[in-house]
Amino acid sequence: MKLKLSFLKVPLFFLCMSIPYPTLAQCVPPFEQGSWSNIDPATRGITKIDVNSTCNDLILCGVDKNGKVTCTPPPSAPYNLRLWGKCSPSDCDWGTVDGNDHWIGSTKWIYSYYDQGFAQRYVYIKPSTIHPGDLFLWVYTHFTDPSRSDYVFTGWYHR
């Protein structure tokens, strides 16, 4: 009797495996996602950072009649960054720009770029190693006016 039951289990297993069912991709929000404020309330630099992420885990691929495989790229950049600089009476909104992963050695940064006409700003963010739980920002500013000196701004941000 036990032998007959095991023979029934095998076809039942294959029948269950052949029934299509939807699969769900897991898109976990990254650590960097959210609104961040400078830990220094008296900063003269970047006061606030908003980071949004897009789940770009769906890439559709197909094969044309010639056997060539083509894939559609993700619809947008994986991140959007929005920064505010210190201004008076209220902070200056730099606007929203796309952000992408950028690896430097074994460290993953999120990179974005602002072209403000008078200055080009290269923005990098990553989880802080000095202040666990905080976000670290590194910005290189290149001025288009050669009489102005380029500079680097760094800061730490908490939620």
pLDDT in tens, 134-159: 999 999 999 999 999 999 999 999 99
Is residue 1 situated within a structural domain? Answer: no
Mark out the alpha helices in the chain (DSSP H runs). Answer: 2-18
Is residue 22 situated within a structural domain? Answer: no
Is residue 11 situated within a structural domain? Answer: no
**What range does the domain containing 101 cover?**
31-53+62-158
Is residue 35 situated within a structural domain? Answer: yes
Between CA 99 and CA 67 the distance in angstroms is: 34
Is residue 119 situated within a structural domain? Answer: yes
Q: What pTM value is reported for the model? A: 0.74
Query: How would DSSP label each residue in 76-117?
Result: S-SEEEEEEE--SSSPEEEEEEEEEEEEETTEEEEEEEEE-S
Q: How far is CA 54 from CA 46, 75, 76, 132, in A?
A: 24, 9, 8, 24
Q: Give pLDDT, residue 5.
A: 53
Is residue 75 situated within a structural domain? Answer: yes
Is residue 4 situated within a structural domain? Answer: no
In terms of C-beta density within 10 A (0-12 exposed, 13-18 middle, 19 or more buried), how is residue 152 classed?
A: exposed
In this prediction, residues 67-93 reach a mean pLDDT of 89
Does a cis peptide bond (omega within 30 degrees of 0) precede residue 89? yes
pLDDT in tens, 52-66: 998 776 667 788 888
Is residue 73 situated within a structural domain? Answer: yes
* Plot region of 67 (φ>0 → left; ψ -120 to 50 → alpha; else → beta): left
